[in-house]
Structure 1
Amino acid sequence: MIKVICVGTIKERYFKEAAEEYKKRLSRWTKIEEIEIKEEDENKYRNVEMLLKKEAEKILKHIKEGQYVVVFDINGTQLSSEEFAELLDRKVSKGEEIVFVIGGSNGLADAIKKRANLLISFSKLTFPHQLFRILVYEQIYRGFTIIKGIKYHK
């Protein structure tokens, strides 16, 4: 099973449709669960660290002992699509649950990064949150097509 925990919501219909399409495609190979964590209001907190701590508490409630946690972070390791597919294959073939965590506009608290088994960076570039979620789903889908030998990845 794959769980995707996201801070923030998708607002635009076309991003929602893209996410739903990838989740539908993935459903033939794995169960996929998406959890949206409401992004905290910056005006309620004295500083960003307190805001991130509150979001981290909400995220950690959805992560169980024994789950393999992958956090997306600009300072993480960059993987090729084939390496990402190998990671998926190793975990899914053993029946392990993988949890992908996507931070909000303020990033993620250190507590989440410390809980991660792996930090992954897609790029040094900054992406809009909604678009990044689609990129994550696309890479998970691409990974499964590589694993299954389906012509999609070039």
Structure 2
Amino acid sequence: MNIKLIVVGKLKEKYLKQGISEYAKRMSKFCKFKIIEVADEKAPEKLSSAQMEQVKETEGTRILSKIKEKEFVFALAILGQERTSEEFASEIEKLTTYGHSDLTFVIGGSLGLSPSVLQRADTQISFGRFTLPHQLMRLVLTEQIYRAFMINSGSPYHK
């Protein structure tokens, strides 16, 4: 199984890198895990809606260039469907059972994801209506993917 995170921007915080690295190491017995960073579009603080859409589209084009046709894509979106850890684990298990061995998760930039990326996604997932830093979301998502593997393997980790 291959799991890929496509994220906008570079991760600078050492403590987040360390946490992600730890979960990636733990996941290595379950899957091949990798993170692909695409450049974020430089933009001034105050943007018009047209400029915001242009930034999202530019970042969206970069994201879409990293997605292969056969990949099952989860887009992280505030309006996506919330799941419990158990529901998420079950979804991953069903996908792999029915032939989806390439799962891709997309975390957009500070303005969110473009309509074209949301359209390409097979599903949208939300971790609630809180606004979280995109860098922190990488760690939270990586931990939840690891947790899903632990739930599916019957481990007590997740209790």
| DSSP-derived class of the 2:90 partner | helix
Shift of 1:95: 4.8
CA distance, structure 1, for counterparts of residue 137 and residue 122 of structure 2? 20
CA distance, structure 1, for counterparts of residue 157 and residue 115 of structure 2? 36
Partner of 2:134: 129
Partner of 2:109: 104
Partner of 2:88: 84
CA distance, structure 2, for counterparts of residue 120 and residue 27 of structure 1? 23
Letter in 2 for 1:106: L
Further displaced range: 136-145 or 90-99:
90-99
Partner of 1:63: 67
CA distance, structure 1, for counterparts of residue 80 and residue 34 of structure 2? 23
Contact 2:71 2:100 in 1 (8 A): no
- State the Cα deviation string for residues 97-146 of structure 1 (Å, max 9, x = none): 11000011111101100111100110011001111110000000000000
Partner of 2:156: 151
| DSSP-derived class of the 1:42 partner | coil
CA distance, structure 2, for counterparts of residue 97 and residue 66 of structure 1? 7
Shift of 1:61: 0.7
Shift of 1:48: 1.0
Partner of 2:5: 4
**Consecutive aligned runs of 4 or more in structure 1 exceeding 3 Å deviation:** none
Question: How many percent of aligned residue pairs carry the same amino acid?
Answer: 41
CA distance, structure 2, for counterparts of residue 68 and residue 121 of structure 1? 16
> What residue ranges of structure 2 are gaps of 5+ in the alignment?
none
Aligned length: 153
- State the Cα deviation string for residues 10-68 of structure 1 (Å, max 9, x = none): 1111010001111111111100111001111014x870111111111110111111210
- The normalised TM-score by structure 1 is 0.95
- Indicate the RMSD between aligned Cα atoms, in angstroms: 1.3
- The correspondence for 1:75, drawn from 65, 72, 79, is 79
Contact 1:52 1:108 in 2 (8 A): yes
